[in-house]
Amino acid sequence: MNSKYKKIISPFSFPVSGVEIANRIVLAPMTTFSGNDDGTTTDAEVAYYRERNESAGLLITACAYVIGHGKGFHGQIGADSDALIPSLKRIADALKANGNKAVLQIYHGGRMSPPEELIDGQSISASAVAAEREGAQVPREMTATEIEETIVAFGEATRRAIEAGFDGVEIHGANTYLLQQFFSPHSNRRTDKWGGDLKKRMAFPFAVVDAVIKAATLSLHPFLVGYRISPEEMENPGITMEDTLHFVAALSKKRLDYLHVSVMDFWAGSMRDKNDTAARAMIIAAKVGHILPVIGVGSIHTPEEVDRVLSANIPLIAMGRELLMEPYWLTKVKNNEVDQINTELDISAQDVLKIPTPLWKGLMARTGWLPLKKQPTKTI
């Protein structure tokens, strides 16, 4: 092995837990829609993860709901019951089979949970304010008891991740889901201790972080705790970059291992101010990266693109869409076979790529999300 991409394949140690990974690549969490109705995984989903267990040093699962009223997708895996530990263990074992580290992403959908996936058909959130999207249900405002129960549920999901053999958890505080809803002035209009000014809007996500970190101490082995964040919102009022910098500065005082900045394009500027063209993850890294390592993500496909981000002092790079299309990306980088890396999806390769049918159908229906490989023209 004599790759010219030495930075990509160099090891990295997380500062708090001491967990070490063999390279700088992270498998981004990607919803698979491929679990069973009871929250257990399926053979097809396990095969999908096993096919990608050499794709990165750190492998993050699709999000798992921590409590029943937090389910956000059809076919989503659950972490809300001890009965699901054997199912979670199947995923952890598949991801860790080649020596890399497996992380369970834990989650609550809040007002983004589809009513048809909820027992009572009613989503809940910080306040009774609907998302600004067509057909969005007005959520019911969570009671103080439900808030406390949900905080406990995140801690319990962490315990289950430990028992299932995961090396860590990632708290999903991004992509408009419940933790972000509590931080957002759009979705949180509360006047109690869980809402109001900026500091009070941080209270719920920080209580979740504290519960997860406390649960992580139960592990007999080094155990990661990371946090995923979306830096801005389009809505007005909505989360601004200034809000986020206050948030991450406070978050950096917690015993977290990393901060995963969720954007569609790593190099894109502000979604709120077209004159602000600085990459969001780089602004955040400049603020807290010396304390809290930042994972960059977003439209990164080639080794050259990864190297460019690493050279910008972002220590870890997550890839989702690319590792869907090319599970052996990292192997090809190590072996100097970068000319063989697939950066387009071969629409005839579902079986080869081990992509479960529900996910495959979603990929085919989402026009423009993945570049499709042109098929050869048939001659008669």
Catalytically annotated residues: 177
Side-chain half-sphere CA neighbours of 99 within 13 A: 4
Assign 3-class secondary structure to the chain. CCCCCCCCCCCEECCCCCCEECCCEEECCCCCCCCCCCCCCCHHHHHHHHHCCCCCCEEECCCEECCHHHCCCCCCCECCCHHHHHHHHHHHHHHHCCCCEEEEEEECCHHHCCHHHCCCCCCEECCCCCCCCCCCCCCEECCHHHHHHHHHHHHHHHHHHHHHCCCEEEEEECCCCHHHHHHCCCCCCCCCCCCCCHHHHCHHHHHHHHHHHHHHCCCCCCCEEEEEECCCCCCCCCCCHHHHHHHHHHHCCCCCCEEEECCCCCCCCCCCCCCCCCCHHHHHHHHHCCCCCEEEECCCCCHHHHHHHHCCCCCEEEECHHHHHCCCHHHHHHCCCHHHCCCCECCCCHHHHCCCHHHHHHHHHCCCCCCECCCCCCCC
Sign of the CA dihedral running 313, 319, 323, 325: negative
Q: What are the tokens at 13?
A: 């140690």
Residues 218, 162 contacting (CB under 8 angstroms): yes
Q: What angle do CA 342, 263, 344 make, to 5 degrees?
A: 15
Work out the number of other CB atoms within 10 angstroms of the CB of residue 44: 17
Structure tokens at 330: 């990292």
**CA nearest to 32, candidates 323, 232, 259, 226:** 323
